[in-house]
Amino acid sequence: MIRQHRSGSRSARPVICLVILALVSIFLAPLLRAQPDTKTPPFNGIAHVALRVKNLAASVDFYEKLGFEQAFDLRKENIPYESFIKINDTQFIELHAAAPADTSTGFLSLCFEGADLEAIHTDYLNHGLTPTDILKTADGNLRFIMGGPTQPSGPQIIEYTQYLPGSLHREDEGKHLGPDRIAEKLVAVSLPMADPTSARDFYINQLNFKPIANDPMSMHMPGESGQEIEILPATAGTHARITLESSNLGKAARHLHKEGIFAVKNGATLTIIDPDGNVLLLETR
């Protein structure tokens, strides 16, 4: 009888353990759910690349010859000083007129679109970063700015935006999407840096960008956009290098030829240089 009793106790032990585990999970579940999420809030993608240009009207004309249209511009005393060239409903190339005494042209800033700008801003503060306050811009969207690694022209300006209902961007949805656009999406931006290794570390360790296998200086931004930034050495200069996705390179090449725009074909890539020396790469992905 004693042996049977001990055997029964042993067979009951797994059941008792399962009951204890179930009770522990019930009581701990709320505590586990309450733990802060350390994952960086996602980005929707690249919102715009800003370029400083010598002649705003000439640059607008050039980009319109590529099949892109100006969605809107910003003016002072009815004189345009900033033009928004539309790639698609959420992505733009911003052209900023250089001041008369300003001889520096080319890459100005890069802007990421946030799914929840307040969440990104709070996450950065919690990680010891120093973004500016979130403000509403002249075009009607939310924005904050943060300094980044040093580029040939000085510290990088990183912008973050969230499109709001009623903004100039939202009011232009579905408009200015010409059928002759040579590309439909902005997929990557290359950034020349004074110290490429530390710049890469900043984007990975501070901003939670994800390294890409077999391409150590390229990274995916947080979120599911699949869009990238690439870190280049400072010898690449101050000009922007922007990669655009084209659904039909043959059609794009024919349109460029028709408009008298010189393009270099290298395998499955077309390369175009804008009036200020910025490089546009067209690829089919």
- pLDDT for the residue 19: 42
CB 120 within 8 A of CB 114: yes
Put the strands of the sheet holding 228-233 in their side by side order: 210-212, 215-220, 228-233, 185-193, 241-245, 279-283, 269-273, 264-266
Amino acid at the residue 264? V
Beta-carbon contacts of residue 210 (< 8 Å; ≥ 6 apart)? 204, 219, 220, 221, 222
- Cα–Cα distance measured from residue 110 to residue 160, given in angstroms and rounded to the nearest whole number: 9
pLDDT tier at 59 (50, 70, 90 boundaries)? Answer: very high
pLDDT digits (tens, 9 = 90+) for 239-258: 999 999 999 999 999 999 99
In eight-state DSSP terms, residue 206 is I
Q: Retrieve residue 124's tokens.
A: 């950065």
Report residue 39: phi and psi, to 5°: -75, 135
Q: What is the mean pLDDT of residues 59-63?
A: 98
In eight-state DSSP terms, residue 132 is P
Whole-model pTM: value is 0.84
pLDDT tier at 13 (50, 70, 90 boundaries)? Answer: low
What 3-state DSSP class applies to 200? helix
For residue 15, pLDDT over 70 is answered with: no
Mean pLDDT, the chain, rounded, equals 88
Q: What is the mean pLDDT of residues 52-69?
A: 97
For residue 106, pLDDT over 70 is answered with: yes
pLDDT digits (tens, 9 = 90+) for 167-225: 999 999 999 999 999 999 999 999 999 999 999 999 999 999 999 999 989 999 999 99
